[in-house]
Amino acid sequence: MATTLFTTENKRGFPFMHCWTKLKNEPKWQAIVQGTSLRGAAGMSPVGSATPTASVNDLDSDSLGLTGKRPLGRDSTKASRKKAMSTSSQSMKYLTRIHDLQMARLKQSEDKVEKKEAHYEVFKDLEYKKLQVQQEQIEVEKTKLKFQERKEKNDELKEAMAVDLEDIAEDLRPAFIAKRKALVDWFVNNPN
């Protein structure tokens, strides 16, 4: 039937038989062969009224059980789903779910801030304790230095007291006596 339609319309043989065998069961091509249009309810035959075969032109889409409309495309299906979604109770469920997710995310963000603040407080306390330990170490070092200085001065004083002044030359005696007096004064001024 399709080959005769093509031959009468184009005055030559049908060269795409391999394509037709694959596409002949598709709704679009069945409607064309049966003489109905999928683009509207006008019911006009795509081949026009000038075809010599009367059987193709006489076919009625209602007698074949076809509505004459194409199936909905991708965009129109999406639009109808969107319209149905906006008017249904699912949209409220969807909005409620989005609100719940946003609230959960906000709560999670607040929890993160609280955890960061807690970590900051712990870090601050640790740094304060570290500074206290360093301060104590400095004090210990100062005490060690004082003891070391006191020991050195004590050793100097023992050496200075152990020397007999009569064994020292006359011109060096005043310097040696001044050194003894300075060491004794140091011990008097630094009792600890």
pLDDT of residue 95: 84
Domain residue spans of the chain: 2-71, 83-189
pLDDT of residue 122: 93
Strand partners, 69: 39
pLDDT of residue 3: 77
Per-residue pLDDT for the chain (192 aa), expressed as one digit of tens each?
667 878 888 888 888 888 888 887 888 877 776 776 555 444 444 444 444 444 444 444 444 445 567 888 999 898 888 777 666 666 778 888 999 999 999 999 999 999 999 999 999 999 999 999 999 999 999 999 989 988 998 898 888 888 888 888 888 888 888 988 998 888 888 877
Contacts 24+ apart (CB under 8 A), 143-148: 146/192
What is the C-alpha to C-alpha distance for residues 67 and 149, in angstroms, rounded to an integer?
A: 113
Helix residue ranges, H only, 163-172 = none
What is the C-alpha to C-alpha distance for residues 186 and 162, in angstroms, rounded to an integer?
A: 18
